[in-house]
Amino acid sequence: MLTKIIVLALYVSVLFIIGIMASRRIKSMSDFYVGGKNMGFWAVAFSARATGESGWLLIGLTGMGALAGYSGYWVVLGELLGVFISWFFMAKLFKRKSDAYGSITIPDYLQSHFKSNTHTLRILSASVLSIFVIIYVSSQIDATGIAFESLLNINYYTGALIGFFIVLIYIFIGGFVAAVWSDLFQGLLMFLGLVLLPIVVWFSMDHGQSITAGLQAIDPALTDIWGGNDDGWMNLFTILGFSMIGLGFLGSPQVYVRFMSIKNENEINKGRWVAIIFTLLTDAAAVTIGILARVLFTESGQDPEAVFGVGATDVLSVMTENFLPLIVVAIYVAIVLSAIMSTIDSLLIIASSAITRDFYQKILRPDLKDHELTKISRIVTIIMAVIALGIAMVIAIVSPERQVFWVIIFGWSGIAATFCPVIILTLFWKGFTEKGAIASMISGFLSVILFKFVFQNLESVGEYFVALDVLAPSFLIAMIFGWIFSKMDPSKVQEDEK
């Protein structure tokens, strides 16, 4: 335990040093929220991937690998496609447009893109962003508590509070720059930790020759890439649910604000290969760790959650404790926290920008200059963080049997379904109108809630929607509503006639 605490203290010290160094670059609101748009490709690529992956990569996806077997690799394919499309086809165009508009937040970008004379779109986008970001942050704080409990045997609530205060302090000091620089450091830890662990375990298993045979002996369905269910429709919905998680990379604000922050388009050309390789290796390694754990520590007919905890969230803890020396296990504690905190910091800054920039400055106090709002930005960050902490504590008390994978995905899906279709349509369809954007955002937002709390509880088909999850259908509905309402928008017709 002492070794783990010492390594954790060193890790936290690095984060605080990064925060102090970053604080020297904070001169304005643009610096606090987008690093003055002067970030390099290494930092942006690692930050975008670390932020996009979050605690679910080490806690959720490793557990999913143990529960689903080979079909878990559909998540890897979906994420890889999402990252590829985002970096290769959307990032440069978004960077070009956001720079032309002088945007430092996503609501800024949308307001400028549609040349809106009202605050409707800004209020809507900032409101939805604040709501789902707080939910997402709360799920990450929840994952922090689980990580401390699983890896350090520290009480869940104590662990959640420790992680909460660590990330809040260095963000408060250094803002976006601290978040990106710390994400680079934390992303490197995540990458090395995830890639090396299955290699070590694989060699200890006679080069992995018994993996498929081991899974077959436990449950033949685990070796079926199509899901292994007798119901073909259930297999289809499961595969779609796994693979469509990658849709969230096609415009989520916490990822795309990093494209705003990068120096220029040439940096995007370099950074996209870093992002692709990071995604492929880390996601595949996470699923593989779960599969290896299932082979090594469970038997036929045994409930994996009885061994690895609810949602198999203890997979990484079990694997490191059994295959690595104590000092390396301690480093993995820092790696898990890196995955979680790299997302919490980015999300808190996004939520803070929605309140400070898009509500307070642009609507209530347009006379205030950017440099006057830096202090307010820090205060708002603290308030949003405390709200998220409160929600996390309530979730832990009310739903002790929750699965962290799906709680995190719900927050991720809410942000993605609300913003990704809108970002895609603004980049690739000239006929997209402000009313279409509003309809798309509202329908995406409501669909996530509808599919989660209504369709998934239907008696006859609910299990299919559970397998499909909420992102894919909500994303599709938002795209359709955006198209329909843009076509019906009379202002577009009048514009075309000019």
pLDDT confidence of residue 491: 66
Pick the residue with more confidence: 372 or 186?
Answer: 186
Mean pLDDT of the chain: 83
Mean of pLDDT values over 91-96: 94
CB 418 within 8 A of CB 132: yes
Residues 6+ apart with CB under 8 A from 192: 335
Amino acid at 368: L
**What confidence category does residue 173 fall into, taking pLDDT thresholds of 50, 70 and 90?**
low
Q: If residue 255 lies in a helix (H) or strand (E), which one and from where to where?
A: helix 253-261
Mean of pLDDT values over 125-143: 80
pLDDT confidence of residue 129: 80
- For 202-217, write each residue's pLDDT tens digit: 888 765 558 888 999 9
Mean of pLDDT values over 212-223: 91
- Cα gap 477→473, rounded to integer Å: 6
- For 452-461, write each residue's pLDDT tens digit: 889 999 988 8
Q: Identify the sign of the CA torsion 492, 362, 420, 458.
A: negative
CB 86 within 8 A of CB 254: no
Pick the residue with more confidence: 55 or 210?
Answer: 210
- For 401-454, write each residue's pLDDT tens digit: 665 556 677 777 888 999 999 999 999 999 999 999 999 999 999 999 999 889
Mean of pLDDT values over 50-64: 79
Mean of pLDDT values over 117-125: 84
- Cα gap 172→158, rounded to integer Å: 21
What single DSSP character describes residue 406?
Answer: H
- Distances 210 to 11, 202, 213, 321, 425 between C-alpha atoms, Å: 37, 10, 5, 21, 48
Residues 6+ apart with CB under 8 A from 289: 62, 65, 194, 197, 198, 201, 315, 316, 319
Pick the residue with more confidence: 233 or 60?
Answer: 233
- For 336-394, write each residue's pLDDT tens digit: 777 777 677 677 777 777 788 777 777 777 776 666 666 777 788 788 888 888 888 88
**What confidence category does residue 493 fall into, taking pLDDT thresholds of 50, 70 and 90?**
very low
CATH code of the domain made up of 2-492: 1.20.1730.10
State the DSSP string of 358-401. IIIIIII-TTS-GGGGHHHHHHHHHHHHHHHHHHHHHHHHH-TT
- For 1-18, write each residue's pLDDT tens digit: 677 778 778 877 877 777
Instruction: Specify the 3-state DSSP secondary structure of 262.
Output: strand
Residue with tokens 């995540």: 190
**What confidence category does residue 35 fall into, taking pLDDT thresholds of 50, 70 and 90?**
low
Q: 86-100, 229-243, 319-333: which has the minimum mean pLDDT?
A: 319-333
pLDDT confidence of residue 403: 59
Mean of pLDDT values over 186-193: 84
